[in-house]
Amino acid sequence: MGQDQGWNGFYLIDIKGCSVYNSSQQNYMKKILNNQERRRLDKRIAEAEKRTGTQIVAAVIHRSDSYSELPWKAFALGVSITGLLVFIFDLLCPAWYSQTAVLISVATILAAGIVSALTSLYIPKFARLFLAAHRAEAEVRQYAEALFLSRELFATQRRTGILLLVSLFERQVILLPDTGLNKRLNQKAMQKIIAQMTPSLASGQVTDALENGLLKLMGILAPKKRGKTRKSGKNELREEIIEEKGV
């Protein structure tokens, strides 16, 4: 390819209250972005690329990792809480204690753990209670970096590729610009872009959030003179909005 693979950094932010999910990847894609929304974003991306001289790829991911430990953590919580309640009940009502009561107590404790584990599988908001912030941040970062490389977003002549990724389960956004934008797009500027997206994402409006982010990106990178645009050259990256179920 003749080019080094790299980027100048990333910025992550938590999105409170975003809850648009579906276990089927195909149905999930249709629900997040319909054809009209895709055309709307395609138009905004083309405008942003023309005004800023960058190559922008937007991505919406269901989840960045399977987090196989979450159901086990939920199971442990359910067992612990129910076990404590059973213990307290036994202290208050010692006459109730019998062999049958012990079997009922054990069954109740295990059932509570199983229900808690199943709930974590089907209700993302509940599952996130067991997901550590640093774990979510690391997985979203890793997914974004892998996507940046696998889609060859570094393969632009002036290294001006930008990945704008939303991972819905973790409620994280990552903005990953290539090394050619080091001087034009610093961490403070990226924070402003992400902050512009947060309100819409919090209410589940993914399309509005991405569009707001693109508008803010234009405001930061576009020339200040009215009507002036940066030289963008040919479109070096594939024109698409990436939608993936993720891991």
Q: Indicate if 85 and 115 belong to the same structural domain.
A: yes
Q: Quick one: DSSP state of residue 94?
A: G
**Would you state the pLDDT for residue 27?**
42
Does the residue 216 lie in any domain?
A: yes
- Rounded to two decimals, the pTM is 0.79
Q: Indicate if 101 and 53 belong to the same structural domain.
A: no
Instruction: List the beta bridge partners of residue 165.
Output: 59, 174
Q: Indicate if 120 and 35 belong to the same structural domain.
A: no
Each residue's pLDDT tens digit, 171-186? 888 999 999 998 899 9
Close Cβ partners of 104 (under 8 Å, ≥ 6 residues apart)? none
**Would you state the pLDDT for residue 22?**
39
What b/e string do you get for 39-53 counting C-beta neighbours within 10 Å, with b at 16 or more? ebbeebbeebbbbbb
Each residue's pLDDT tens digit, 12-33? 544 444 433 333 444 444 467 8
Does the residue 231 lie in any domain?
A: yes
Phi-psi category of residue 17: left, alpha or beta, with phi > 0 → left and psi -120 to 50 → alpha = left
For the chain, how big is the Rg over CA atoms in Å?
23
Query: What are the φ and ψ backbone dihedral angles of 14, each rounded to 5 degrees?
Result: -85, 140
CATH number of the domain encompassing residue 183: 3.10.310.50
Strands (E) located in 64-217: 161-167, 172-177
Residue ranges in the chain modelled with pLDDT below 50: 1-4, 10, 13-30
**Would you state the pLDDT for residue 28?**
42
Q: Indicate if 46 and 146 belong to the same structural domain.
A: yes
- DSSP code per residue over 23-52: SSHHHHHHHH--HHHHHHHHHHHHHHHHHH
- Of the residues 129, 149, 180, the one at which a domain ends: 129
Domain range spanning residue 195? 12-66+132-246
Q: How far is CA 244 from the centre of its chain?
A: 11
**Would you state the pLDDT for residue 192?**
93
